[in-house]
Amino acid sequence: MPESSVAEAAAPARPPVRLGDIAYEKLKESLIRGTYRPGHKLTVRAAADALGVSSTPARDAINRLVLEGALVYTGPKTVIVPHLDSQILEEITLIRLALEGLAAERAGSEGTQTIVAELEAIQALIDAALDEARYADALWHNKEFHFFIYRLAGLPHLLGMIEPLWLRIGASFNDLYPEFALAKYGVHNHRAAIEAIGERDGSSLRAAIESDIRDGFRQLKRAKTADHQP
Partner DNA sequence: CTGTGATTTTTGTTGCAACATAATGAAGCG
Partner DNA sequence: CGCTTCATTATGTTGCAACAAAAATCACAG
Residues within the interface to DNA (CB under 7 A): 15-16, 18-21, 41-46, 53-57, 59-60, 62-63, 74-79
Residue 73: CB minimum distance to DNA, A = 8
**Quick check: 155 and 105 in contact, CB under 8 A?**
no
Binding at 54: pick from DNA, a second copy, none (beta carbon under 5-8 Å per type):
DNA
* Spatial distance between the Cα atoms of 187 and 26, rounded to a whole number of angstroms: 30
Is residue 19 part of the contact set for a second copy (CB under 8 A)?
A: no
Is residue 30 part of the contact set for a second copy (CB under 8 A)?
A: no
**Quick check: 43 and 53 in contact, CB under 8 A?**
no
Distance of CA 214 to the CA centre of its chain: 15
Binding at 19: pick from DNA, a second copy, none (beta carbon under 5-8 Å per type):
DNA
Greatest pairwise CA separation for the chain in angstroms: 53
> What stretches of the chain show up as alpha helix (H) in DSSP?
4-10, 19-33, 44-51, 55-68, 86-108, 113-131, 135-152, 156-175, 178-181, 186-198, 202-226
Is residue 4 part of the contact set for a second copy (CB under 8 A)?
A: no
| Of 206, 197, 196, 220, residue with least CA distance to 97 | 206
Residue 63: CB minimum distance to DNA, A = 6
Q: How many residues bind a second copy (CB under 8 A)?
A: 37
Is residue 77 part of the contact set for a second copy (CB under 8 A)?
A: yes
Binding at 41: pick from DNA, a second copy, none (beta carbon under 5-8 Å per type):
DNA
Applying CB under 8 A, the residues found at the interface with a second copy are 9, 11-16, 56, 60, 63-64, 66-67, 69, 72-78, 87-88, 91-92, 94-95, 98-99, 101-102, 155-158, 160-161
